[in-house]
């Protein structure tokens, strides 16, 4: 087992009605000037915007709206930093999906930094202070509500950087599964694929434990069962609730304390796809994952695929190990297809033309030569081509 250094300072408030019950009390802990951040309007359609405004009517509320999926440095992060600096904001309330929350994280540290906030995202400098963040997460996917990560895109340079900063942990996250009832089939499936891939990025590595393996295998099974139920019946509270919790655990290391670090290769590759083509993160991951699995299947990795196949998909353990591994990879592909994810890059508007450029970008920036199974620029291009 590997050494680890772990802390998650985020308070989770989970369940039906928790926003009505506790939002005012929680926000009173942080001050009067609130920056309310949100996306393109889903929170207005579901009545959450009006509810928040009513619950916080004694606060001074400033707003940053229109935060897009794959949130953009310019304008969203820069606009948010400006509002915070000009108005001496006490707390940011992020209401929406992972994109809204990630954007808010970059604003929270950027507002307390004198230089260009991009320095903090690109690790040129490190934050020493931040504005507290409270969130109401409305989409089960990223786990941003319980982690120190943030992912910000910059269209002028085709960068999409996932970075970790301990100041990014939200102070309080509200998780009411009923706010995910309105999530579309497409986003529910993409969220499931994202959360499954977060687990796989931690499962497929050199050193794990029986405890971690069991936890992650249960997470994968629960996500597959519950995502299907959510797609069939979007208002199935139990399924939405369990899916939400599986996603929340995703990125804060709890699934894999004591395991070795895999290098998160599928995320490294997917960031280039979203950066160049602005596709949905979870769909990009679902497309790449089975191709990456086939690419790295070898004597070094086969036992891990056997364990995955037998314990997650119930494949007969008595067969040849490569047969089991290949069946497990095919089952992964089939599951994503079953929940309606387009399984080829060309289905999401990506063709051959920029593959070499993207592979070069990934090889230069994502450190995948140090992954559990190291990937060269050629390996990355081969995986992209196999995904076409
Ligand atoms: O903008 P609005 O109108 O709110 O609509 C959003 C958006 O169009 C909609 N939506 C959200 N909640 C809804 C809803 N529609 C109906 N009902 C609701 N309750 O869904 C669309 C997608 O939202 P977005 O926030 O982009 O999705 P997600 O939560 O999947 O976030 C994706 C972003 O997170 C990053 C991804 O790279 C991507 O940029 N990630 C962040 C991570 C982290 N911080 O730890 C880890 C992940 O690996 C991931 O990279
Ligand atoms: Zn992800």
Six token digits for residue 111: 């507002």
Given 127, 158, 180, the domain boundary residue is: 180
Residue 31 and residue 171 in one domain: yes
Q: How far is the CA of 244 from the centre of ligand 1 (A)?
A: 13
Residue 10 has a pLDDT of 98
Residue 226 and residue 349 in one domain: yes
Residue 119 and residue 232 in one domain: no
Is 362 among the domain residues? yes
Per-block mean pLDDT, blocks of 10 residues, the chain (388 long): 96 98 98 98 97 98 97 97 98 98 98 97 97 98 98 93 96 98 98 98 97 98 98 98 98 95 97 96 98 98 98 98 98 98 98 98 96 98 98
Given 118, 151, 180, the domain boundary residue is: 180
Residue 345 and residue 273 in one domain: yes
Is 36 among the domain residues? yes
Residue 225 has a pLDDT of 98
Pairing mode of beta strands 149-154, 159-164: antiparallel
Residue 332 contacts residue 293 (beta carbons within 8 Å): yes
Q: How far is it, in rounded angstroms, from Cα 132 to Cα 46? A: 26
Residue 297 and residue 161 in one domain: no
Output DSSP code: residue 74.
I
Q: How far is it, in rounded angstroms, from Cα 142 to Cα 281? A: 10
Residue 267 has a pLDDT of 97
| CB of residue 212 inside a 6 A radius of ligand 1 | no
Domain coverage including residue 148: 11-180
| CB of residue 333 inside a 6 A radius of ligand 1 | no
Given 180, 211, 234, the domain boundary residue is: 180
Six token digits for residue 128: 């020493």
Residue 260 has a pLDDT of 97
Count of structural domains, the chain: 2
- 29 burial level (CB within 10 Å; 0-12, 13-18, 19+): exposed
Residue 178 has a pLDDT of 98
Q: How far is the CA of 195 from the centre of ligand 2 (A)?
A: 6
Q: Supply the angle between the helices 210-232 and 237-248 in degrees, to the nearest 10.
A: 140
Residue 74 and residue 161 in one domain: yes
CATH code for the domain of 192: 1.20.1090.10
For the entire predicted model, the pTM comes to: 0.98
Residue 276 and residue 347 in one domain: yes
Residue 198 and residue 273 in one domain: yes
Residue 259 has a pLDDT of 97
């Amino acid at each position: 087992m590997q050494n680890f250094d772990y802390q998650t300072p985020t308070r989770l408030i989970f369940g039906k009605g928790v926003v009505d019950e506790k939002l005012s009390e929680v926000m009173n802990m942080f001050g009067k000037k609130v920056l309310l951040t949100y996306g393109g309007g889903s929170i207005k359609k579901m009545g959450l915007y009006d509810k928040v405004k009513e619950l916080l009517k004694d606060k001074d509320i400033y707003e940053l709206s229109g935060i897009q999926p794959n949130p953009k440095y310019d304008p969203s992060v820069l606009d948010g930093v400006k509002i915070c600096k000009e108005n001496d904001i006490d707390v940011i309330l992020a209401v929406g999906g992972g994109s809204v929350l990630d954007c808010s994280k970059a604003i929270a540290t950027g507002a307390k930094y004198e230089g260009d906030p991009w320095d903090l995202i690109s690790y040129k400098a490190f934050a020493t202070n931040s504005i507290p963040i409270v969130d109401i997460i409305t989409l089960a996917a990223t786990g941003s509500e319980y982690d120190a990560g943030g992912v910000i895109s910059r269209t002028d340079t085709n960068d999409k950087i996932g970075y970790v900063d301990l100041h990014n942990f939200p102070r309080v996250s509200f998780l009411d599964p009923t706010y995910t009832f309105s999530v579309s089939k497409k986003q529910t499936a993409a969220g499931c694929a994202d959360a499954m891939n977060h687990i796989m990025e931690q499962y497929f590595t050199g050193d794990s434990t029986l405890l971690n393996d069991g936890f992650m295998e249960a997470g994968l099974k629960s996500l597959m069962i519950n995502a299907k139920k959510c797609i069939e019946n979007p208002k199935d509270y139990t399924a939405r609730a369990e899916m939400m919790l599986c996603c929340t655990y995703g990125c804060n290391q709890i699934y894999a304390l004591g395991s070795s670090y895999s290098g998160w290769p599928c995320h490294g590759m997917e960031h280039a796809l979203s950066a160049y083509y602005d596709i949905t993160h979870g769909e990009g991951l679902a497309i790449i994952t089975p191709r990456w699995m086939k690419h790295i299947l070898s004597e070094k990795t086969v036992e891990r695929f056997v364990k995955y196949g037998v314990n997650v998909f119930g494949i007969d353990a008595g067969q040849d190990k490569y047969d089991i591994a290949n069946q497990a990879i095919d089952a992964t592909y089939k599951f994503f297809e079953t929940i309606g994810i387009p399984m080829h890059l060309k289905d999401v508007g990506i063709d051959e033309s920029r593959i070499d450029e993207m592979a070069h970008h990934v090889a230069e920036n994502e450190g995948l030569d140090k992954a559990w199974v190291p990937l060269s620029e050629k390996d990355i291009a081969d995986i992209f081509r196999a995904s076409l």
